[in-house]
């Protein structure tokens, strides 16, 4: 951790909602590191799913460091554009997620980050669901608790698949928009430069032509030689 603290230029703490997921799109400035923290206080959580993608900036790459509550490195990604990790929890405490752009001297990076906390491989934590009295809901219905749970699990998986598909579309839309905005700035700059050059050259040509017809003009005399 001492080595990491030496290179951190900027640290940012966020509170992740433990009953669901959290996404954000920070801008990592050049030569800086931003760290995000997740406080795990419930022993029921088994792992964190992390997904990130660089949307704009330079070569679309970023470094990632993940540390456990004992400040041991869990994950180290070297200059990656996009990746996802299933991070097993090693106990209660604060987990650190640091995005390192210190290798870039001029270009900031926009990064899409998604955190999910899970109890098992197939069930995401939801405090709202755990507060429901299942026995009262299914009372009088010709259905067992197991069948109800299976159907709800299948429905939840389908909804999560649809949500991931929509999220992937939004991410690519953001990346395409950032790319188009960058190209638009270049087009506008060079269009203005070319327009200014045409105006200057046209004015210079008019001045030279007029000088040819003026007898007292020194430039005209020089051009007529």
pLDDT (tens digit per residue) in 138-185: 555 555 666 777 777 778 777 777 777 677 777 777 777 777 887 888
If you ran DSSP here, which 8-state letter would residue 58 be given?
T
What is the end-to-end Cα distance of the chain in Å, rounded?
78
- Residue (of 203, 200, 221) closest to 212 by Cα position: 221
Counted domains in the chain: 2
Its domain, for residue 165, covers 133-225
Q: Are residues 104 and 40 in the same domain?
A: yes
Rounded-to-integer distance, Cα 54 and Cα 25, Å: 9
Q: Are residues 185 and 195 in the same domain?
A: yes
Q: Are residues 121 and 33 in the same domain?
A: yes
**Residue 85, beta-bridge partner list:** 50
Domain-ending residue, one of 131, 161, 185: 131
Rounded-to-integer distance, Cα 205 and Cα 211, Å: 10
Q: Are residues 42 and 81 in the same domain?
A: yes
pTM: 0.55
The CATH code of the domain that includes 74 is 2.60.120.1050
Residue found by looking up tokens 């045409």 in the block: 198
Query: Do the beta carbons of residue 68 and residue 142 sit within 8 Å?
Result: no
Q: Are residues 16 and 49 in the same domain?
A: yes
Residue found by looking up tokens 């998604």 in the block: 114
Domain-ending residue, one of 114, 131, 148: 131
- Structure confidence at residue 19 as a pLDDT band (50, 70, 90): very low
Q: Are residues 21 and 113 in the same domain?
A: yes
Q: Are residues 32 and 87 in the same domain?
A: yes
- Structure confidence at residue 209 as a pLDDT band (50, 70, 90): confident
């Amino acid at each position: 951790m001492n080595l990491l603290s030496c290179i951190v230029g900027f640290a940012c703490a966020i509170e992740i909602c433990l009953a669901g997921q959290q996404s954000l799109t920070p801008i990592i400035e050049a030569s800086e590191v931003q760290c995000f923290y997740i406080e795990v206080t419930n022993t029921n959580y088994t792992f964190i799913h992390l997904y990130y993608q660089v949307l704009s900036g330079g070569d679309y790459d970023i470094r990632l460091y993940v540390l456990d509550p004992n400040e041991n490195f869990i994950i180290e990604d070297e200059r990656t554009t996009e990746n996802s990790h299933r991070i097993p929890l090693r106990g209660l405490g604060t987990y650190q997620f640091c995005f390192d752009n210190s290798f870039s001297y001029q270009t900031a990076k926009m990064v899409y980050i998604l955190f999910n906390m899970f109890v098992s491989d197939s069930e995401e934590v939801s405090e709202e669901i755990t507060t429901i009295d299942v026995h009262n809901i299914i009372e009088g219905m010709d259905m067992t608790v197991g069948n109800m749970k299976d159907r709800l699990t299948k429905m939840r998986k389908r909804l999560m698949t649809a949500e991931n598909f929509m999220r992937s579309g939004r991410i690519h839309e953001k990346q395409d928009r950032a790319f188009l905005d960058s190209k638009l700035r270049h087009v506008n700059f060079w269009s203005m430069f070319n327009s200014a050059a045409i105006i200057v050259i046209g004015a210079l040509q008019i001045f030279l032509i007029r000088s040819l017809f003026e007898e007292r003009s020194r430039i005209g005399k020089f051009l007529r030689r």
